[in-house]
A and B are shown apart, each in its own frame.
Chain A
Amino acid sequence: MIDQHRQAFKEEAYELLAELETSLLELEEQPDDVDVIGRVFRAMHTIKGSGSMFGFDDIAAFTHEVETIFDMVRNGKLKVTGRLVNLTLAARDQIRAMLDGADDGGGGVDLKASGEIIMGLRELAGFQPAAAEPPEAAAAAQKPVNLATYRIRFAPSRDIFITGTNPLTLLQELKELGTCSVVAQTGDFPCLEEIDPEACYVYWDLILTTDQGDNAIRDVFIFVEDDCELRIEQVAEHTQFDEPQDYKKLGMILLERGDITTEEMEEILAQQHKFGELAVSNGILDQGKVQSALVEQRHVKEVRQEKQATEAASSIRVPAERLDLLVNLVGEMVTVQARLSQTAAQREDAELVAIAEEVERLTAELRDSALNIRMLPIGSTFSKFKRLVRDLSVELGKQIEITTEGAETELDKTVIEKLNDPLVHLIRNSIDHGIELPEARVEAGKPAHGTVHLAAVHSGDSVVITIDDDGAGLDKEAIRAKAIEKGIIAATAELSDKELFSLIFAPGFSTAKKISSVSGRGVGMDVVKRAIELLRGSIDISSVQGKGTRIAVKIPLTLAIIESLRVQIGEDSFMLPLSLVDECVELTREDVERSHGRNLAHVRAQLIPYIPLREHFRIQGTPPEIQQIVITQMNGSRVGFVVDQVIGEHQTVIKSLGRAYRDVDGISGATILGDGSVALILDVPQLLQAVEAGQA
């Protein structure tokens, strides 16, 4: 509790005690004055209530005893006597002493005196009031509850609106407990002239699947349970693996709900038509009730399917290393298969070629299914973020809700692992820099609580993860000013929004005005960008000031095998990730001379900067007359890589480099070619960075 509030309470309590003294002395003169008795009671009551709210538990407990006595006086069950006034005055002094001592740990308070006063008061009252029960008793240890489905009928009384209750907020609260299907029952509506616009004629049938237990459901209705018809029945508990797919028949559900009798059901069943339609057309049931039962049928079926899906996914547990080993072996297999195909082609042996083709087909299948085994839904990562958001909201005094979409989207296990840190950082950023404090949001006409929306969706051989917040958005002017200050751009530079936003990925760039405990830990967006690029992914920002920011991270499904373009420089082979390659064009010696050493190529009236890899890697020998430029595209900018020759597309099994080569710039891994030689995989983003840094 904040000290300021404690201080306010103390001041108030001193005032109340002074008043109490006056009142008590008055009471001695006029023992029957109801007003004065009321004043004494209220003073005690306030000290007790506020005292325990502000952490003065000893005062609250003690005052409670005195208040109990005065409640009896108030109700005429006890007479005011001189002894009562004396004891109460003593109690008053005791409370004062407790207040005085509150800040030095409660020392100096005579506990024995407190006991004696209480004993005296109890004696006067002629009974032994039980000491205030600690409320913990009620909150007995709650056992974890299994996922279960409940059928809830919530029929508020007609006059529920006059207590200011909005049934919709209750329904909303229920929805937050789990998966919920709601059917509004409007069958009781009278005809127009009989409608009382202030009465509630609707009732609701809900089917809720939750792991919170039925107490949580009852809690939702705590204020209205006395003035509504509330039925909560558990219809299914989802513990079994082998629940039948078919849920109860419609008639069975209606029977269980008591909406229909056995006779009525049998009568309808005797006719060979759809049960629900018949029940309605025969006038036994209204459409709403049938609708509601149908919803229950569908709801339970869906929940079961979902549960079975997740159970099936976790039905075999295999240590991760075994999977890694499998994928490694498949990788070797792919390599050998490439070699076999190559050899077969060279030998011109029809039978061998046929075998090689068969092996190629099988290897491809084997590769795909091995990689598939490593695919995991991203959902578990998402749910970790919920905790993060919750903790951060508390820490920063913001109200933030996180919503997710596409939790079932699958990604390679290693990708998910490596994605965790960058995503955490991005979400932290959204919360820390993006979403405003509640007051500021309200002032801007937005709801006090902000929203962070996480979504994952497949896009070709990649997954796009977006983090949307409805916060303040990026401040273009602030970014521009900062970039100029840091010397990243020239003061006169004209940048598109996209280019401007991408500046926040520059090393050492931060727009935060002050360093909070959340950001400013020395990890900038540049590190995030680098981590995403190591996954051969890209990151993209869009933002509208005042409305929010969207960050889209695109990453490949797997890291184990990539489609790549094989190129050759001299005797050496290199691989470029095919997803980054835009096109290949020729570069003649003439072209090179014409550009006067500026490394710019004209491609269809566009100037494209290029990097001569032969020079970059200091490979001996002379380039051929006509070289090739492989043009790549990263974050919207096109950059070319000059090589001797483009060989073609290739399935590349990525092998990580040994420790000695780990820090080599521009190379992200290696692969073994069909002939057994090694090709290096180019790290395109890093190459671009290295070159940019070299030019600056």
Chain B
Amino acid sequence: MAKVIMTADDSASVRQMVTFTLKQGGYDVVEAVDGKDALQKLSSTKVDMLITDLNMPNLDGIGLIKGARALPSCKFIPIVMLTTESQDSKKQEGKAAGATGWIVKPFKPEQLMAVVKKVLG
């Protein structure tokens, strides 16, 4: 069965690109429009990996990572956050919250796939 990856991002175009790239790579994708939506979906859907933006309305990426790690089903899944160069302190915050790694925006589809392969094996 294909592995399921959730993309949590308030930007529809980024979600579209991430989804498109991951589906090309043979993964199933669940989309969430912000942290709150993601957390809700995570409690009912089993995912193998989470890719989340940091800046989102309602619940931001850090909050989502903390919330996800508190769910038994998400305790050990890879969580990758989308950051920008200028957010180095956020990166540390994210790691402390339990993020596995990060992707620096802007990224190309191949870079996304490389990171997915790296953390998902």
> What 19 new A-B contacts, CB under 8 Å, besides A54-B17, A447-B26?
A12-B12, A12-B13, A13-B13, A39-B57, A42-B55, A42-B56, A50-B106, A52-B106, A53-B106, A53-B108, A162-B69, A163-B100, A164-B99, A169-B120, A173-B118, A223-B101, A442-B2, A445-B1, A448-B26
Across the interface, A45 reaches (CB within 8 A) one of B13, B55, B102, B120, namely: B55
B99: chain A residues at CB < 8 Å are 163-164
Give CA–CA (A555, B24) in the complex, Å. Answer: 39
Does A9 lie at the interface of the complex (its beta carbon under 8 Å from any beta carbon of B)?
yes
CB <8 Å contact, A226 and B95: yes
Give CA–CA (A41, B84) in the complex, Å. Answer: 13
CB <8 Å contact, A49 and B100: no
A166: chain B residues at CB < 8 Å are 78, 119, 121
Residue of chain A at shortest CB distance from B82: A49
A9 to chain B, nearest CB (A): 4
A222: chain B residues at CB < 8 Å are 101
Residue of chain B at shortest CB distance from A162: B98
Does A161 lie at the interface of the complex (its beta carbon under 8 Å from any beta carbon of B)?
yes
Does A449 lie at the interface of the complex (its beta carbon under 8 Å from any beta carbon of B)?
yes
CB <8 Å contact, A448 and B95: no
By Cβ-Cβ distance, the 5 closest A-B pairs, closest first, are A448-B26, A223-B101, A438-B26, A9-B13, A52-B106
B73 to chain A, nearest CB (A): 12
Residue of chain A at shortest CB distance from B92: A226
Bitwise interface map of B from 72 to 87 toward A, beta carbon under 8 Å scored 1, else 0: 0001111100101010
Of the A-B pairs whose beta carbons lie under 8 Å apart in the complex, a sample of 15, sorted by A's number, is: A5-B20, A12-B12, A41-B55, A42-B56, A53-B107, A54-B17, A71-B86, A164-B78, A164-B79, A164-B98, A165-B100, A169-B118, A222-B101, A227-B95, A397-B24
B71: chain A residues at CB < 8 Å are none
B48 to chain A, nearest CB (A): 10
Chain B interface residues (CB < 8 Å from chain A): 1-2, 10-14, 16-17, 20, 23-27, 55-57, 69, 75-79, 82, 84, 86, 95, 98-102, 105-108, 118-121
A375 to chain B, nearest CB (A): 39
CB <8 Å contact, A223 and B14: no
Bitwise interface map of A from 54 to 72 toward B, beta carbon under 8 Å scored 1, else 0: 1000001000000010010
CB <8 Å contact, B16 and A5: yes
Across the interface, A441 reaches (CB within 8 A) one of B26, B69, B76, B118, namely: B26
Interface size on A, residues (CB 8 A): 48
Give CA–CA (A49, B13) in the complex, Å. Answer: 11
Chain A interface residues (CB < 8 Å from chain B): 2, 5, 8-9, 11-13, 39, 41-42, 45-46, 48-54, 60, 68, 71, 161-166, 168-170, 172-173, 220, 222-223, 226-227, 397, 399, 438-439, 441-442, 445, 447-449
A12: chain B residues at CB < 8 Å are 11-13
Give CA–CA (A8, B18) in the complex, Å. Answer: 13
CB <8 Å contact, A46 and B11: yes
B23: chain A residues at CB < 8 Å are 439
B118: chain A residues at CB < 8 Å are 169-170, 173, 220, 223
A165: chain B residues at CB < 8 Å are 78, 100-101, 119
CB <8 Å contact, A169 and B84: no
A71: chain B residues at CB < 8 Å are 86
Give CA–CA (A519, B1) in the complex, Å. Answer: 30
Give CA–CA (A166, B24) in the complex, Å. Answer: 24
B105: chain A residues at CB < 8 Å are 49, 52-53
B98 to chain A, nearest CB (A): 5
Give CA–CA (A412, B76) in the complex, Å. Answer: 54
CB <8 Å contact, B16 and A438: no
B79 to chain A, nearest CB (A): 5
A49: chain B residues at CB < 8 Å are 11, 14, 82, 84, 105-106
CB <8 Å contact, B121 and A45: no
A161: chain B residues at CB < 8 Å are 76
Give CA–CA (A45, B20) in the complex, Å. Answer: 22
Give CA–CA (A222, B99) in the complex, Å. Answer: 13
A68: chain B residues at CB < 8 Å are 86
Give CA–CA (A5, B70) in the complex, Å. Answer: 34
Across the interface, A164 reaches (CB within 8 A) one of B26, B77, B82, namely: B77
B16: chain A residues at CB < 8 Å are 5, 8
Give CA–CA (A169, B121) in the complex, Å. Answer: 5
Given contacts A5-B17, A50-B11, A164-B77, contact A60 B119 (CB under 8 A): no
A399: chain B residues at CB < 8 Å are 25-26
Across the interface, B2 reaches (CB within 8 A) one of A5, A173, A448, namely: A448
Give CA–CA (A198, B29) in the complex, Å. Answer: 28
B102: chain A residues at CB < 8 Å are 223
B26: chain A residues at CB < 8 Å are 399, 438-439, 441-442, 447-449
Residue of chain B at shortest CB distance from A220: B118
A46: chain B residues at CB < 8 Å are 10-11, 14, 55
B69: chain A residues at CB < 8 Å are 162
CB <8 Å contact, A5 and B13: yes
Give CA–CA (A220, B114) in the complex, Å. Answer: 11
CB <8 Å contact, B24 and A163: no
Which of B10, B11, B95 has most chain A Cβ within 10 Å? Answer: B11
Give CA–CA (A46, B14) in the complex, Å. Answer: 9
Residue of chain B at shortest CB distance from A8: B13
A218 to chain B, nearest CB (A): 13
